[in-house]
């Protein structure tokens, strides 16, 4: 398995900061993705060759960090939660020993820190307005921790008291040195890589990835580009920039026409309570934008193998919409609208992206309850036809949500393999078409993030950072392999199996992992 693009700092997607230790041996920066416990990470690299030394998992979002002015010691602050559940932490990490010590606090966040000198560490806390006396605005306090310079290494848990705090006026909070004019996210790592004669560019989560028949691969990053096209060797061929009016992120969805010549990509615009969708048709030869289409709702795409595709109202709004959902338009590959279908209310639990299907399949609620039972339905020129309930005979009781899947057809007939989330955990199951008989259903160890099929095999990536290879006939997992490359582990977001047998995995670290066809089928 290899990573595209192959650059230093593979874990560092788009970090705001990076720091180098006083002795010049260590380099640290926030990492994308999550650790084994599901928490954020800080990546520590050797400054000499930019190789990964350690991935330090912490409890919550990194707010600040700083190396000790003399010692090889790294301080990290974290903060999480709103007024009623604010919490934070101070972490001290010694790179050489890979030793991490934590000092958690509750009721406040640790929002900033800095070393005043070799003996003193200033820790700044955000104090939530739980009584709403400040119109919900945080107040700030500080604690200066002082120890002999030679006593900062080897600190044990419980040795640092963060309770002796002194109130700070907002204008007295020291947020560190101001950024230089024109500074952009990732500039520090760009400069550090350039010092070593290397190239590095910021990357964000690859939320969608699609393999083309000629060996190229498309991806939709969370930010920075609307659509990118890479060669299988790892060269960026072209990129479509995000429109200026994109709402925080691109839509992170792509529909590729059956002839592999064009694709439609989504852009979310508007505000959180009134999101719209801009659809852009892109020429896959060079990334030229050929056409645009606007929808008055946030869209979730679905496609049929013959080229028909649809844009459903995802209801991804905050606060939730108080108006009825829009009908779902159905288009040809060129964007000509064929008609609309009424699919009703939708939320994230209605996800049902079935790849390679000859049918337009969706989940539709049955009834007006807040959490109605879901049915698998087919949209066609005849309208919306219910096929079978999402819930199966031996499904655990309680709420059930859909998930990604793929169409399969073999000696056991046509069917779909799809993920489902239940109160007792995730499942992967195969259902026969058109009536939904369960061919097999397996409880999974971790959430299924994406699934696809190719070369007579099923592939799925999971929240446990694994690529699973399964047999479609019985769902047996015949191979597990970590989503890792040369000691670097990656958090999978998306998956696509190429006609030639290669498997492409989009990751939270902004990389595309490539498992070549022979390697994908090795040992099966």
Q: What is the pLDDT of residues 362-412, one digit of tens each?
A: 999 997 777 889 999 999 988 999 999 999 999 999 999 999 999 999 999
Of the pLDDT bands very low, low, confident and very high (cuts 50, 70, 90), residue 271 is confident
Confidence tier at 251 by pLDDT (50, 70, 90): low
Q: For 147-164, what is each residue's pLDDT tens digit? A: 999 899 999 998 999 988
Does residue 457 carry a pLDDT above 80? yes
Least confident segment among 77-91, 226-240, 447-461: 77-91
Poorest-confidence range of 161-175, 191-205, 214-228, 289-303? 161-175
Counting other chains too, the contacts that 412-416 makes at CB distance below 8 Å and 24 or more residues apart are 412/439, 412/472, 412/473, 415/439, 416/354, 416/357, 416/361
Opening angle at CA 431, ends 427 and 434, nearest 5: 150
| pLDDT at 524 exceeding the cut of 60 | no
pLDDT band at 247; cut points 50, 70, 90: low
Evaluate whether 201 touches 187 at the Cβ level (below 8 Å): no
**Whether 207 contacts 226, CB under 8 Å:** no
pLDDT tens digits, one per residue of 486-523: 889 999 999 999 988 899 999 999 999 999 875 665 54
pLDDT class for 179, splitting at 50, 70, 90? low
What is the pLDDT averaged over residues 185-200? 90
pLDDT at residue 523, rounded to an integer: 47
Predicted model pTM: 0.91
* Per-residue pLDDT at 443: 96
User: pLDDT tens digits for 193-218?
Assistant: 999 999 999 888 999 999 999 999 99
Higher pLDDT, 500 or 288: 288
Q: How confident is the model at residue 84 (pLDDT cuts 50, 70, 90)?
A: confident
pLDDT for position 178: 67
Please give the pLDDT value at position 284.
Answer: 98
Cβ–Cβ under 8 Å, residues 493 and 449: yes
In the chain, pLDDT over 70 holds for what percent of residues?
Answer: 96
4-33 pLDDT, tens digit each? 998 999 998 888 788 999 999 999 999 998
Residues in CB range of 210: below 8 A, 6 or more apart: 217, 218, 219, 254, 256, 263, 496
């Amino acid at each position: 398995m290899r990573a595209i693009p192959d650059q230093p700092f593979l874990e560092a997607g788009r970090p705001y900061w990076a720091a180098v230790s006083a002795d010049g041996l260590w380099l640290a920066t926030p990492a994308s993705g999550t650790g084994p416990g599901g928490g954020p990470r800080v990546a520590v690299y050797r400054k000499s060759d930019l190789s990964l030394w350690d991935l330090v998992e912490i409890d919550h979002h990194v707010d600040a960090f700083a190396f000790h002015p003399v010692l090889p010691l790294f301080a990290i602050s974290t903060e999480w939660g709103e007024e009623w559940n604010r919490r934070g932490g101070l972490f001290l990490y010694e790179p050489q020993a890979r030793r991490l010590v934590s000092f958690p606090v509750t009721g406040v966040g640790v929002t900033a820190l800095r070393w005043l000198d070799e003996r003193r560490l200033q820790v700044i806390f955000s104090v939530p307005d739980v009584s709403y006396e400040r119109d919900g605005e945080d107040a700030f306090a500080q604690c200066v921790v002082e120890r002999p310079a030679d006593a900062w290494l080897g600190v044990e848990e419980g040795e640092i008291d963060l309770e002796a705090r002194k109130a700070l006026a907002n204008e007295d909070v020291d947020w560190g040195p101001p950024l230089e004019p024109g500074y952009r996210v990732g500039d520090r790592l760009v400069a550090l890589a350039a010092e070593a004669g290397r190239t590095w560019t910021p990357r964000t989560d690859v939320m969608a990835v699609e393999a083309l028949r000629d060996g190229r691969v498309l991806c939709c990053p969370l930010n920075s580009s609307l659509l990118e096209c890479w060669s299988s060797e790892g060269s960026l061929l072209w990129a479509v920039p995000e429109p200026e009016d994109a709402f925080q992120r691109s839509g992170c969805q792509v529909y590729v026409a059956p002839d592999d010549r064009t694709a439609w990509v989504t852009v979310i615009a508007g505000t959180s309570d009134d999101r719209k969708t801009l659809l852009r048709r892109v020429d896959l030869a060079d990334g030229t934008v050929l056409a645009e289409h606007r929808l008055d709702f946030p869209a979730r795409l679905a496609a049929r193998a013959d080229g028909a595709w649809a844009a459903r109202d995802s209801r991804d709004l905050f606060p939730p919409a108080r108006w009825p959902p829009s009908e779902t338009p159905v288009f040809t590959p060129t964007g000509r609208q064929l008609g609309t279908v009424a699919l009703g209310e939708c939320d994230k639990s209605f996800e049902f992206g079935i790849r390679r299907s000859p049918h337009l399949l969706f989940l539709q609620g049955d009834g007006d309850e807040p959490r109605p039972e879901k049915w698998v339905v087919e949209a066609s020129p005849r309208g919306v036809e219910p096929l079978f309930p999402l819930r199966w005979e031996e499904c655990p009781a309680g709420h059930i949500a859909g998930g990604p899947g793929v169409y399969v057809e073999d000696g056991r007939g046509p069917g779909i393999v799809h993920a489902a989330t239940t109160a007792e955990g995730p499942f992967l199951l195969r259902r026969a078409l058109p009536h939904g008989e369960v061919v097999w259903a397996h409880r999974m160890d971790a959430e299924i993030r994406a699934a696809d099929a190719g070369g007579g095999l099923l592939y799925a990536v999971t929240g446990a950072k694994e690529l699973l290879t399964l047999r479609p006939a019985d769902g047996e997992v015949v191979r597990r392999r970590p989503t890792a490359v040369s000691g670097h582990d990656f958090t999978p977001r998306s998956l696509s199996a190429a006609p030639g047998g290669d498997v492409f995995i989009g990751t939270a670290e902004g990389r595309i992992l490539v498992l070549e066809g022979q390697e994908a089928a090795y040992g099966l």
